[in-house]
Amino acid sequence: MRKLIRVDMTQGKVQVEDLAQEYALLGGRGLTSTIVAREVPPLCHPLAGDNKLVVAAGLLAGTTCPNSGRLSVGGKSPLTGGIKESNVGGNVAIKLGKLQIAGVVLEGQAPEGKLFYLLVNKDGAQLLPADEFKGLKNYDLVAKLQDRYGKKAGIVSIGPVGEMKFSAASVAVTNTNGTPSRHAGRGGMGAVMGSKGVKAIVVDDKEAPGVTYNDKEAFKEAASIFRDALREHPVTKPGGGLAVYGTNVLTSILNEAGGLPTRNFTEGRFEGAQKISGETMHDVIEKRGGNPTHSGCSTCIIQCSNEYVDKDKNYVTSALEYETIWANGANCGIDDLDAIAQIDKLCDDYGLDTIETGCAVAVAMHAGVKAFGDAAGAIELIHEIGKGSPLGRILGNGTAVTGQAFGVSHVPVVKRQSLPAYDPRAVKGIGVTYATTPMGADHTAGYAVATNILKVGGFVDPLKPEGQADLSRNLQIATAGVDAAGLCVFVAFAVLDIASGLEAIPKMLNAQYGLNLTLDDVMEYGKQILKTELEFNQAAGFTASDDRLPEFFKKEPLTPHNVVFDVTDEELDKVLDF
């Protein structure tokens, strides 16, 4: 029986309970969204005591299944005002799985000015004072906690930005090296954690009981088929596209396709793309003796992570990712990889979502606060956020607030969350996802599963509106299922082309939990999660008019293809109408 840890921050009480029957088969996003929908008043203020922060491991966490170490961080988002699941890798989810802990729920609010951290281990959980850690950045904080609990402890934490409760605040998670470089960035969940008065959650899995399997042999067999699929596919295999170039493999591809948003979404190609591409990054890291191929998340065999080093071979940051490189690179007109790496490190250290931050800086640049391409200026702005200066407070509360503060009408957000690295005019399918997902503009919400598996017929041309609604719907449903299992979204690339790998997913769930699920059931499960999230948002006041892209995407043609976003509102309204 998996357990749930509930922490009442108002009373300072910790309770370890058996996972309620109704939550028994929920994991990851399924668990966070269900708890939030059932227990958080939709109209509450996201930074008030009634909101909850739910941290949940996926259903396969702690097993021998590869790439099963994703962690879901959920609550009502201070950025969007709706339900949020922010997904992150690192080393914590599998430790929770081994401890047979499904998740941690932070409720209520610590007394004003008090700060705590939660220690989770084989004996249960304990709330401890963290006043001495006030204002610490993530790297320093983690070093201090590791002095106490060892390098191997998994740590979930917030930096000063989370303590200041800015809407772009992330929740950091340690990677396999114990570095706080994996982040649940989106939606300001770091601000919710800060509002609870919780600086960190330390997860120590020494002498953990481990996962129990209903049928261990069947699990091993299915996991081995799944592993073979990941090892065989050119994108995910050792030495494959993700391992060699990381997620930044996408810069060249998106730039070529005319969908790389440049200078605050005013152009679709960036003249400096090759200076920041995955190919260039790989060569730079390799030449300097850094690590272009790194396993950032426990159980990961894809290894899309990297360790970026400076000219003197000193570690700068880990997992310099496509989204970060785009948001703070092309989107700000910056073509300096070293500057972008520095920005990534600063964001990780202060506890900031790199996407929201880059988009906010780009909007500020659009307003003339700094010039596009001014890397030193961008770095200066990020320090302002970390310091909590008045300018930093504007930027740190995200792209929408920044646009408002500087009178910019060209503000790329949906539900007040900034758009990620695919321009929806040139990549219309993902534009539909941005518009309709309950998460606010989010690329991962409908990204993962290829069209052929989902029976979407025919070629869906990214530049045409036809077929995009069906495509997005099926992707969103499948992704919710993947998120609940705790699997990395990148496994999709392999299992789409290798049917046995896909079939292994329900087989693993069945063998672990004694179930009889089919693939269709996993899809239905995903649909249920989406329904739960949509109902919460509706009760929180969202209507169809929130499922729209900003109007400039419909009016301003994007170079080089000179296209606008032309999926009709009627089609958007049908996407999640089930």
Residue 50: closest CA among 75, 82, 79? 75
> Which one among 240, 246, 292, 438 touches other proteins, defined by CB under 8 A?
240
CA 98 to chain CA centroid, Å, is 23
> Which one among 173, 184, 250, 529 touches other proteins, defined by CB under 8 A?
250
Q: At what angle do helices 28-39 and 519-539 cross, to 10 degrees?
A: 30
Stretch that binds other proteins, among 6-14, 217-225, 245-253, 564-572 (CB under 8 A): 245-253
> Which one among 381, 449, 498, 508 touches other proteins, defined by CB under 8 A?
449
> What is the nearest approach in angstroms of other proteins to the Cβ of residue 451?
6
> What is the nearest approach in angstroms of other proteins to the Cβ of residue 278?
8
> What is the nearest approach in angstroms of other proteins to the Cβ of residue 84?
22
Q: Which is nearer to other proteins, 38 or 464 (CB)?
A: 464
Q: Which is nearer to other proteins, 288 or 561 (CB)?
A: 561
> Which one among 430, 480, 558, 576 touches other proteins, defined by CB under 8 A?
430
- Spell out the residues 6+ positions from residue 236 whose beta carbon is closer than 8 angstroms to its own: 230, 242, 243, 302, 490, 491, 493, 494
d(CA 377, CA 383): 10
CA 342 to chain CA centroid, Å, is 20
> Which one among 39, 376, 560, 577 touches other proteins, defined by CB under 8 A?
560
> What is the nearest approach in angstroms of other proteins to the Cβ of residue 229?
14
Helix, strand or coil, per DSSP, at residue 163? helix
Q: Which is nearer to other proteins, 246 or 550 (CB)?
A: 246
> What is the nearest approach in angstroms of other proteins to the Cβ of residue 206?
38
Phi-psi group of 416: left, alpha or beta (phi > 0 → left; psi -120 to 50 → alpha; rest → beta): left
Q: Tell the residue number behind the tokens 């000063």, with chain if given.
A: 160
Stretch that binds other proteins, among 307-315, 329-337, 342-350, 454-462 (CB under 8 A): 454-462
> Which one among 212, 214, 224, 452 touches other proteins, defined by CB under 8 A?
452
For position 4 contacting other proteins by CB under 8 A, the verdict is: no
For position 562 contacting other proteins by CB under 8 A, the verdict is: no
x/- map, 488-507, other proteins, by CB under 8 A:
----xx--xx----------
> Which one among 202, 244, 362, 480 touches other proteins, defined by CB under 8 A?
244
> Which one among 443, 473, 507, 527 touches other proteins, defined by CB under 8 A?
443
What Å distances lie between residue 544 and 61, 356, 415, CA to CA? 36, 24, 11
User: Would you say 206 and 121 are in contact if contact means Cβ atoms under 8 Å apart?
Assistant: yes
The two most distant CA atoms of the chain are separated, in Å, by 62
For position 324 contacting other proteins by CB under 8 A, the verdict is: no
d(CA 423, CA 559): 11
> What is the nearest approach in angstroms of other proteins to the Cβ of residue 156?
29
Which residues within the stretch 267-286 sit at the binding site for other proteins (CB under 8 A)?
269, 274, 277, 279-280
User: Would you say 508 and 482 are in contact if contact means Cβ atoms under 8 Å apart?
Assistant: no
> What is the nearest approach in angstroms of other proteins to the Cβ of residue 86?
20
Helix, strand or coil, per DSSP, at residue 486? coil
- Residue 271 identity (one-letter amino acid): E
Helix, strand or coil, per DSSP, at residue 203? strand
> What is the nearest approach in angstroms of other proteins to the Cβ of residue 68?
20
Strand residues in 77-228 grouped as ranges (E): 83-88, 101-107, 116-121, 124-129, 154-157, 171-173, 182-184, 198-203
> What is the nearest approach in angstroms of other proteins to the Cβ of residue 92?
27
> Which one among 256, 524, 556, 577 touches other proteins, defined by CB under 8 A?
256
> Which one among 28, 187, 241, 403 touches other proteins, defined by CB under 8 A?
241
> What is the nearest approach in angstroms of other proteins to the Cβ of residue 255?
9
User: Would you say 92 and 154 are in contact if contact means Cβ atoms under 8 Å apart?
Assistant: yes
Q: Which is nearer to other proteins, 79 or 448 (CB)?
A: 448
d(CA 326, CA 334): 9
> What is the nearest approach in angstroms of other proteins to the Cβ of residue 335?
14
d(CA 341, CA 319): 9
Q: What is the DSSP annotation of 210-226?
A: ----SSHHHHHHHHHHH
Stretch that binds other proteins, among 16-24, 47-55, 253-261, 388-396 (CB under 8 A): 253-261
For position 462 contacting other proteins by CB under 8 A, the verdict is: yes
Task: Tell how many helices (H) and how many strands (E) occur in the chain.
Answer: 22, 17
x/- map, 472-491, other proteins, by CB under 8 A:
---x----------------
Give the count of beta carbons closer than 10 Å to the beta carbon of residue 295: 18
What Å distances lie between residue 556 and 332, 358, 434, CA to CA? 19, 22, 18
Q: Which is nearer to other proteins, 187 or 241 (CB)?
A: 241
Q: Which is nearer to other proteins, 279 or 384 (CB)?
A: 279
d(CA 186, CA 30): 17
Query: What pairing do the DSSP bridges indicate for beta strands 53-57 and 13-18?
Result: unpaired
> Which one among 471, 505, 509, 534 touches other proteins, defined by CB under 8 A?
471
d(CA 410, CA 300): 39
Residue 316: closest CA among 289, 353, 279, 352? 289
For position 335 contacting other proteins by CB under 8 A, the verdict is: no
For position 266 contacting other proteins by CB under 8 A, the verdict is: no
Q: Which is nearer to other proteins, 189 or 235 (CB)?
A: 235
Backbone angles phi, psi at 521, to 5 degrees: -65, -40
Q: Tell the residue number behind the tokens 């956020």, with chain if given.
A: 385
> Which one among 99, 136, 235, 343 touches other proteins, defined by CB under 8 A?
235
Encoded tokens for 104: 């941690």
> Which one among 168, 257, 340, 363 touches other proteins, defined by CB under 8 A?
257
For position 338 contacting other proteins by CB under 8 A, the verdict is: no
Q: Which is nearer to other proteins, 450 or 523 (CB)?
A: 450
Encoded tokens for 204: 């120590």
Point out which residues bind other proteins (CB under 8 A).
Answer: 234-235, 237, 240-241, 244-245, 249-250, 252-254, 256-259, 269, 274, 277, 279-280, 422, 427, 429-430, 443, 447-452, 458-463, 467-468, 471, 475, 492-493, 496-497, 560-561
